[in-house]
Chains A and B, each alone.
Chain A
Amino acid sequence: MRYMQVLLVLIFCSFLPDSSAQAVPGPTEQLKPTLNVLLDILLDPSLKGSEHKEARRAKIMGHVTQRFDFREMSQRVIGREWRSLSQEQQDYFQELFTKLLENAYIGKFESYSGQEVQYIGERIRDERAIVSTQIENNSQWLPVDYIMINKEAQWMVYDINIEGVSLVRNYMEQFKSILRRDKFDGLIKLLEEKNRTFE
């Protein structure tokens, strides 16, 4: 009798939605809406041109910060030394680094003119995932991979890989030698100077 009860409970349970696997959308499903919104903003005629730059950037960054984890990126580019920094230092670094990425890369994306984006596939391992896409560029395909991390059911981008070249790792290598030479304060000074050149 007891055996039957257990069996019934098991059968019942198997009909319940599997909360760990099914309820949470995968990395691609989470990334796609954000990218679509971003591409729409870039194509929006009312936001085009340098006179709308401020409004456009603000709108883009509003969406980017929901799916791109700048804290995670900051932590990674600094490396081991991150934990020895104070909360204020971490926050200020994140602010400067986010600004640098905004200046450097959103500026580049602004030349987007409706090229097709294809989703090639995704791969998940534990809490990390790669979403592979490609974008049309002069009738050839440019591979762009989004490296993501799962934080409380939210898949967040922490690196972009274009033709195998990682964005975060590039800065990581640069900062490594600057930190060794000029310490954290020197890095902050260089970042401030760099960001000023974009104004």
Chain B
Amino acid sequence: MISKKIFISFLFLVFIFGPVWDAPADEAEGTVALPRDNVNKEFDAFFDSEETSDPLESMNRVFFQVNDKLYFWILKPVSTAYRTVVPHSFRQCFGNFFDNVAAPVRVVNNLLQGKLAGAGVDFSRFLINSTVGVLGLGDPALHSFGLEPRSEDFGQTLGFWGLGEGVYLCLPIIGPSTLRDSVGLVGDGLLHPATYVLGTPQERTAYYSTDKVNLLSLHPDLYEDMKRYSLDPYISMRQVYLEYRRDKVKDRAVRNEMMTEF
């Protein structure tokens, strides 16, 4: 009962402080040539920072600290031990496997944004890597066919259709997110095969934890480098997350469109 109350008041807070809905984006799909005004708007976005909405900063900072402790007390030791036992090439293969299993998430989200080419690429990648790549352990689709993954998730899909990012959230265990991306996470969970194949919550937790530990073992310095180079790691991480996600929603194709080719 109490948790429901907290949840409702939390939502209330969010709606008071953070405009969730932005005006629908008038940008067209990636490869279509943009009208000049839109190109200029995109161009200006490079110079001027977008407003960051972080009304829950004090709560976020608490969870940031919690995650920081979890990282150094649990995640890092586990990942380091795992890294010393399992050779790099194996970990690379496991990473490919986890990526390949998540293919439905990318295919469906490409489709939801009307990106047929992207959906085709990711579907082909899934077919090639599941067969020639031996259950997704290898990535021949990239190395032999040059098919780069078109990562799309439900957070990006919502952004594509004009939903604003909402307030910034630092979630326990999950880490940096926004209101929109948190909804996106739930949507992607529904698209992820692990949700249906693995019966119990314990099994799913084990699956996602292994995925994360493996991922961290492939990029062991990322978090600590970020902390080392920044004076306020909380803000640095928030800024990196928000700009990275905005760039993802905007799409490379659009931004390359506005560059004059040589």
Residues of chain B in range 243-262 having any CB-CB distance to chain A below 8 Å: 243-244, 246-248, 250, 252, 255-256, 258-262
**B71-79, B202-210, B234-242 - interface stretch:** B234-242
Does B143 belong to the interface (CB within 8 Å)? yes
Residue pair A163, B244 in contact (C-beta under 8 Å): yes
Residue of chain A at shortest CB distance from B257: A121
Does A109 belong to the interface (CB within 8 Å)? no
Contacts of B225 in A (CB 8 A): 108
A190 vs B232: C-alpha distance when bound (angstroms): 10
Count B interface residues, CB 8 Å: 34
Residue pair A170, B240 in contact (C-beta under 8 Å): yes
Residue pair B240, A128 in contact (C-beta under 8 Å): no
Q: Which of A103, A123, A143, A194 has the most CB of B within 10 A?
A: A123
Selected contact of A191 from candidates B143, B231, B244, CB within 8 Å? B231
Count A interface residues, CB 8 Å: 40
Selected contact of A164 from candidates B230, B250, B260, CB within 8 Å? B250
Within the complex, the shortest CB–CB distance from A56 to chain B, in Å, comes to 19
Residue pair B244, A174 in contact (C-beta under 8 Å): no
Residues of A within 8 A of B (CB): 28, 100, 103-105, 108, 119-123, 125, 128, 130, 132, 139-141, 143, 145, 147, 161, 163-166, 169-175, 177-178, 187, 190-191, 194, 197
Residue pair A140, B148 in contact (C-beta under 8 Å): yes
Residue pair B240, A194 in contact (C-beta under 8 Å): no
Selected contact of A130 from candidates B49, B52, B259, B262, CB within 8 Å? B259
Residue pair B243, A164 in contact (C-beta under 8 Å): yes
Contacts of B230 in A (CB 8 A): 170-171, 174
Residue pair A164, B256 in contact (C-beta under 8 Å): no
Residue pair B239, A169 in contact (C-beta under 8 Å): yes
Within the complex, the shortest CB–CB distance from B139 to chain A, in Å, comes to 9
Residue pair A163, B247 in contact (C-beta under 8 Å): yes
A194 vs B228: C-alpha distance when bound (angstroms): 8
Chain B binding surface, main DSSP class: helix
Q: What are 17 A-B contacts with C-beta separation under 8 Å?
A: A104-B229, A119-B262, A120-B256, A122-B259, A140-B148, A161-B46, A164-B246, A164-B248, A169-B239, A170-B236, A170-B240, A171-B231, A174-B230, A174-B232, A174-B235, A175-B231, A194-B231
Residue of chain A at shortest CB distance from B46: A130
List the 8 closest A-B pairs by CB distance, nearest first: A164-B247, A121-B259, A104-B229, A174-B232, A165-B243, A174-B235, A170-B239, A173-B239
Residue pair A121, B256 in contact (C-beta under 8 Å): yes
Residue pair A177, B235 in contact (C-beta under 8 Å): yes
Residue pair A123, B43 in contact (C-beta under 8 Å): yes
Contacts of B228 in A (CB 8 A): 104, 197
Residue pair A177, B232 in contact (C-beta under 8 Å): yes
Within the complex, the shortest CB–CB distance from A174 to chain B, in Å, comes to 4
Within the complex, the shortest CB–CB distance from A143 to chain B, in Å, comes to 7
A119 vs B259: C-alpha distance when bound (angstroms): 11
Residue pair A122, B260 in contact (C-beta under 8 Å): yes
Residue pair A139, B143 in contact (C-beta under 8 Å): yes
Residue pair A164, B244 in contact (C-beta under 8 Å): yes
Contacts of A141 in B (CB 8 A): 148
Residue pair B244, A165 in contact (C-beta under 8 Å): yes
Q: Which of A164, A166, A170, A197 has the most CB of B within 10 A?
A: A164
Contacts of A174 in B (CB 8 A): 230-232, 235-236, 239
A104 vs B235: C-alpha distance when bound (angstroms): 17
A28 vs B46: C-alpha distance when bound (angstroms): 17
Residue pair A169, B46 in contact (C-beta under 8 Å): no
Within the complex, the shortest CB–CB distance from A37 to chain B, in Å, comes to 21
A67 vs B179: C-alpha distance when bound (angstroms): 40
A143 vs B232: C-alpha distance when bound (angstroms): 25
Residue pair B231, A178 in contact (C-beta under 8 Å): yes
